Structure 1
Amino acid sequence: MHQNYEYLKKFADISEETFNEIAEITEFKRIEAGTQIVKLGEVPTKIYMLVSGFMRCYLTTESGKEYNKSFYLPISFIGSLTALLSNKPSMLVFEALSDCKLYEIDYKKFKGICERNIKLNTLHSKVLEYVYVKYEKRLIELMSLDATERYLALKKEIPDVDEKIPQYQIASYLGITAVQLSRIRKKIDSN
């Protein structure tokens, strides 16, 4: 049985037939590091399931400063949900930080199948709940933890984050400078 089918079954009891319906509107892609799957100002039409590599989601200010919102490791669901739902340009950029393998799904076709397939609609709801819980956890961390605690939480989530993601990207995610991150690392290493 396909490993992605088994993974999706963790969210909802979908049949092989339903999985095959999803597969028909899905395209497997390999992308190189630096590829943007959602660009700033683009009206997105796709959602993604990352199966290898790692990606980031970031916001760029008018002055050109980037702020990392999220990092994605396998297996993750990725998409500019607000832009998809509102059919408006994305304010976020989704970019590969390494070479990646992912499945690209046409969101409109997916929603069409959801309207007539209750099991797929349940899967969609469960995935959205999962994504929301992760988002809320991140928001709580930003509001309640100091920079060192946020870094330690990130290391717990991604143990080899320092090897996978450049220091300035990690610092941006934590809401600090690369110099501050360097100090935090030295302090942790000295304890």
Structure 2
Amino acid sequence: MDNSKDLLKRLDIPEKQADDLLSISKIKQIGNGEAYISEGQIPKTFAIAIQGLFRYYYIDDKGNEFTKGFILPETVLSAYSAMLHQTPSFFYIQALEDSEILEVDYKKWLELQQQDSFWDKFLIRALEKGYFTKEKRERELLLLDAEARYKIFTTEFPGMEKRIKLQIVASYLGIQPESLSRIRKK
């Protein structure tokens, strides 16, 4: 639990609240390529990434993958609306490297939230971060060309291209792998 204690400290979670959270959580290893959440699954947990790398992605009816976003350490990962409404997730959350998470039981967390208003503030911070990321991503996809999106990607995720398949980078940028190859050659 040392990794998780350090993580919670870096997330500015006070010691008492960290202990409370750890009492309803467990450390879980997720291997490269494994799903944390699958499309169609009704999530009962959320997690905080301790180490590794994840992505959110969709698969259309033709089998094409669309990467919605990446999750780095010290970030909450969840199919939040599906968990909140207890409905099937529309997307997958997949480990792109061998990863470690602190997995939190959602029902027990709701009980914790009722007992301590700190968790309301924690939730608001996590949702604000997610909303900011979503809004920025939508703006880039709607207003910028592929080259500009690629430059932003390399700035925001330095070295990421060496860690993941270029096909995943292309799906994140909303382009075909061939187009990514052309952009990278420039």
What is the DSSP-based 3-state SS (H/G/I as helix, E as strand, rest coil) of the residue aligned with 1:64? coil
User: Which residue is 2:11 aligned to?
Assistant: 8
TM superposition outliers: structure 1 runs of 4+ over 4 Å: none
Q: 1-side partners of 2:153 and 2:98: how far apart?
A: 21
Residue identity over aligned pairs, in percent, reads 32
Per-residue CA distance 1:96-115 (angstroms, 9 max, x = gap): 11100111111121122111
User: Which residue is 1:78 aligned to?
Assistant: 77
Q: 1-side partners of 2:165 and 2:61: how far apart?
A: 23
1:175: how far off? 0.5
1:159: how far off? 0.6
Q: 2-side partners of 1:45 and 1:116: how far apart?
A: 20
**Structure 2 residue 166 is the aligned partner of structure 1 residue 167:** yes
Give the count of matched residue pairs.
Answer: 183
Per-residue CA distance 1:84-130 (angstroms, 9 max, x = gap): 11110001000111100111111121122111201122111111111
Q: 2-side partners of 1:136 and 1:148: how far apart?
A: 19
Q: 2-side partners of 1:52 and 1:152: how far apart?
A: 25
1:144: how far off? 1.4
Per-residue CA distance 1:49-101 (angstroms, 9 max, x = gap): 11211111111111111111111121221000110111100010001111001
User: Which residue is 1:177 aligned to?
Assistant: 176
Q: 2-side partners of 1:32 and 1:15: how far apart?
A: 30
**Structure 2 residue 161 is the aligned partner of structure 1 residue 158:** no
What is the DSSP-based 3-state SS (H/G/I as helix, E as strand, rest coil) of the residue aligned with 1:95? strand
Q: Give me the CA root mean square deviation.
A: 1.3
- In structure 2, stretches of 5+ residues that fail to align are none
8 Å Cα contact 1:35/1:95 also seen in 2: yes
- TM-score if structure 1 supplies the norm length? 0.91
Q: 2-side partners of 1:150 and 1:17: how far apart?
A: 42
User: Which residue is 2:67 aligned to?
Assistant: 68
**Amino acid in the other structure paired with 1:52:** Q
User: Which residue is 1:142 aligned to?
Assistant: 141
- Kindly report which structure 2 residues correspond to 1:22-61, keeping only aligned pairs within 5 A, or say none: 22-61=21-60
Q: 2-side partners of 1:140 and 1:155: how far apart?
A: 17
What is the DSSP-based 3-state SS (H/G/I as helix, E as strand, rest coil) of the residue aligned with 2:11? helix
1:26: how far off? 0.9
**Amino acid in the other structure paired with 1:67:** F
1:29: how far off? 1.1
8 Å Cα contact 1:8/1:123 also seen in 2: no
